């Protein structure tokens, strides 16, 4: 995984209509945040958008590919991130539409998490 700060700046400009986003380095890649939640990853010149059961079929239909990586044991693992569709690379409005769907996916995932119970004090 590799994060290029110049690519991060392109992403900020391309997704400017989203308002404030934050990019932080994470495991050699860039994690893109909106509303305090990760909705995209930047790795080797690819924008990987968070997906769930609602927007994943839409990304598949648009020709996106799923983020996968090899494990040390030789298996291929996949994550719930899909590439920004090719048509959105030259169209900021379309890119922002896809990003908003991914932000919604991140919000749904956060809402579905059970709140942690505080540990009982001895």
> What pLDDT band is residue 91 in, cutting at 50, 70 and 90?
very high
Closest CA to 45 of 18, 78, 84, 15: 84
* Model-wide pTM > 0.85: no
Which range among 27-36, 59-68, 80-89 shows the weakest confidence by mean pLDDT?
27-36
Going from N- to C-terminal start, the domains of the chain cover 5-110
Burial string for 103-112 (b: 16+ CB within 10 Å, else e) reads bebbeeeeee
> Phi and psi of 65, rounded to 5°?
-120, 150
What are the counts of helices (DSSP H) followed by strands (DSSP E) for the chain? Answer: 3, 6
pLDDT at 101 (0 to 100)? 96
For 5-110, the fitting CATH number among 3.40.50.300, 1.10.10.10, 3.30.540.10, 3.30.1460.30 is 3.30.1460.30
* More reliable by pLDDT, 109 or 8: 109
């Amino acid at each position: 995984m590799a994060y290029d700060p110049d690519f991060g700046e392109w992403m900020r400009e391309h997704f400017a209509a989203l308002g404030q986003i934050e990019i932080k380095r994470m495991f050699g890649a860039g994690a893109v945040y909106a509303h305090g939640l990760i909705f995209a990853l930047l790795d080797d010149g690819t924008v990987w958008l968070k997906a769930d059961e609602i927007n994943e079929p839409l990304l598949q239909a648009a020709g996106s590919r799923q983020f996968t990586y090899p494990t040390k044991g030789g298996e291929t693992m996949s994550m719930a991130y899909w590439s920004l569709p090719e048509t959105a690379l030259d169209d900021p409005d379309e890119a922002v539409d896809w990003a908003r769907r991914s932000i919604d996916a991140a919000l749904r995932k956060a809402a579905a998490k059970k709140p942690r119970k505080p540990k009982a004090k001895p």
